[in-house]
Amino acid sequence: MEPARITVIDDDPSSRDLLTRLLRSEGYQVTPLADGREALDRLGAEGAPDLVVSDIRMGEVDGLQVTDAFRQKAPDTPVILVTAFGNIDGAVEAIRRGAFDYVSKPYDIDAIKVVVARAVKQRQLALENKALRRDLREKYRLENVVGRSEAMLQVYKTAARVAATDATVLIQGESGTGKELVARAIHAASPRSGGPFVAVDCGAIAEGVLESELFGHARGAFTGAQASRRGLFEEANQGTLFLDEIGDIGPNLQARLLRALQEGTIRRVGTNEPVAVDVRVVAASNKDLAAEVKAGRFREDLYYRLNVVTIRIPPLRERREDIPLLAEHFAAKHGRAEGAAISAPARDLLVAHDWPGNVRELENVVARGLALNPSGVILPDDLPEAIRRAAPAESAAAPEALAPGDRPTLAELERRYAVQVLRETGGNKTRAAEILGIDRKTLYRLLGDERES
């Protein structure tokens, strides 16, 4: 990697030379300049350096004016300002104008090294993030990408195809995988996008209350029902009703829901008068509804009515290649300043974690890390202890050792090596095939999976 290019601006020759020698000793490529005007001329002619370290008080163009110009013309380049000892007003003004940080004269050598290293790292991460977002826009043309793994691309394709229809959709996946996000995406891409999207968590409401919530009630239907009330089916008319955790509803409500889906009408609690509704239902569950049917806890006829099209959202542990992308997405969402990002060591720890809470847990961890670190770059120490302990196990990336007496065939050794490379790529089959120098069909054959043969 090329050394970071740093421009040092100071009209005091001794101070400028001292800082230049210090930064060059740290391996940086340093360009010393005597005034801010020359720095701005170079910015227009040669482009932006990776970092600017500038004195505040200079002649024609001072450090604050340099900061303003770089914020406007090269916002990804951090500016560190040098201020006279005790000049706190100048320091406060420097930060307000957008400077990354400031250091005081006389120089604290260790402090300068730390501040410069942080600024260079932020610049590098900001550029990497920008390139990644540009790549995603070009490849997938998705506004809100939540993953680019093969499994998630299949989710996108199915959602896009079913969105144009009025078919009932069943979304299955563990808690926190983003089932409601997919449901909202289907609604937004459908002919019903101009209508309401109404979501209800069936598992969080007692069944008696949920019945009234879904279908409404007539005046006097039960104690406290002093007026008639429309239910969520009616509220969602001409739109989409999202029934989350549908597997938690009881037998009586299952029967009423089946009737509503079959007939396109509902009856408010306390009356037999039918009310026609035009609603598309998208249901979701973290339970295996097929298993629930076999166990007698869920009606088979309702299951097939809901299961016209099924979308399964894989948990994060099955698509680890999406974790860095999601983490950067949440860093941008929750960061207090542009350029919020994840350091490489922290990113490795995130990828190693199994994420029982899935995407929701990951977002909470990133938001927590940014709250604890005002620099905007999450470091390993900003992560919960349970994640810091989840360093990648050496055995996960190591070849399977041959035990005494273990004499595998050549085909078995090939399979073991393919499994090892697949682990190292986080389950990314396309990348694993590239590393192995084979096509995907050959990889599937080595793994004993004939789906693409």
In a domain, 430, yes or no: yes
3-state secondary structure (DSSP) of residue 118: helix
Are 72 and 51 a contacting pair, CB within 8 Å? Answer: no
Q: Is the pLDDT of residue 260 over 70?
A: yes
In a domain, 206, yes or no: yes
Rounded mean pLDDT, 330-351: 82
Are 78 and 123 a contacting pair, CB within 8 Å? Answer: yes
pTM of the model: 0.55
Q: Is the pLDDT of residue 397 over 50?
A: no
Residues 162 and 302 both lie in one domain: yes
Q: How many domains does the chain have?
A: 4
Comparing 2 with 236, the larger pLDDT belongs to 236
Output the pLDDT for position 299. 96
- 449: pLDDT confidence band, cut at 50, 70 and 90? low
Give the closest residue to 177 by CA, choosing from 136, 147, 141.
147
Stretch among 80-84, 159-163, 240-244 having the lowest mean pLDDT = 80-84
Q: Is the pLDDT of residue 447 over 80?
A: no
Residue-wise pLDDT for 410-442, tens only, equals 777 777 778 777 776 767 777 777 777 788 888
Domain boundary pick from 84, 104, 136: 136
Does a cis peptide bond (omega within 30 degrees of 0) precede residue 106? Answer: yes
Helix, strand, coil proportions of the chain in percent (round to 5)? Answer: 50, 15, 35
In a domain, 283, yes or no: yes
Residues 159 and 222 both lie in one domain: yes
Residues 432 and 383 both lie in one domain: no
Residues 74 and 201 both lie in one domain: no
- 197: pLDDT confidence band, cut at 50, 70 and 90? very high
Most trustworthy range by pLDDT among 205-209, 218-222, 299-303, 350-354: 299-303
Comparing 87 with 397, the larger pLDDT belongs to 87
CATH number at residue 428: 1.10.10
C-alpha 326/C-alpha 328 separation (Å) is 5
Residues 62 and 159 both lie in one domain: no
Domain boundary pick from 372, 388, 404: 388
3-state secondary structure (DSSP) of residue 114: helix
Rounded mean pLDDT, 348-367: 92
In a domain, 208, yes or no: yes
Residue-wise pLDDT for 283-328, tens only, equals 999 999 999 999 999 999 999 999 999 999 999 999 988 898 888 8
Rounded mean pLDDT, 253-263: 94
Domain boundary pick from 265, 282, 312: 312
Q: Is the pLDDT of residue 132 over 70?
A: no
Task: Give the rounded percent of residues in the chain with a pLDDT score beyond 90.
Answer: 39
Residue-wise pLDDT for 143-164, tens only, equals 444 577 888 888 888 888 898 8
Residue-wise pLDDT for 162-172, tens only, equals 988 999 999 99
Output the pLDDT for position 442. 84
Containing domain of residue 253, as a range? 150-312
Residues 269 and 207 both lie in one domain: yes
Residues 346 and 286 both lie in one domain: no
Output the pLDDT for position 145. 42
Phi, psi at residue 431, to the nearest 5°?
A: -65, -40
Compute the C-alpha angle 198/264/254, nearest 5°.
70
Burial class (CB in 10 A: 0-12, 13-18, 19+), 421: buried
Q: Is the pLDDT of residue 279 over 70?
A: yes
Give the closest residue to 271 by CA, choosing from 218, 212, 210.
218
Task: Give the rounded percent of residues in the chain with a pLDDT score beyond 70.
Answer: 87
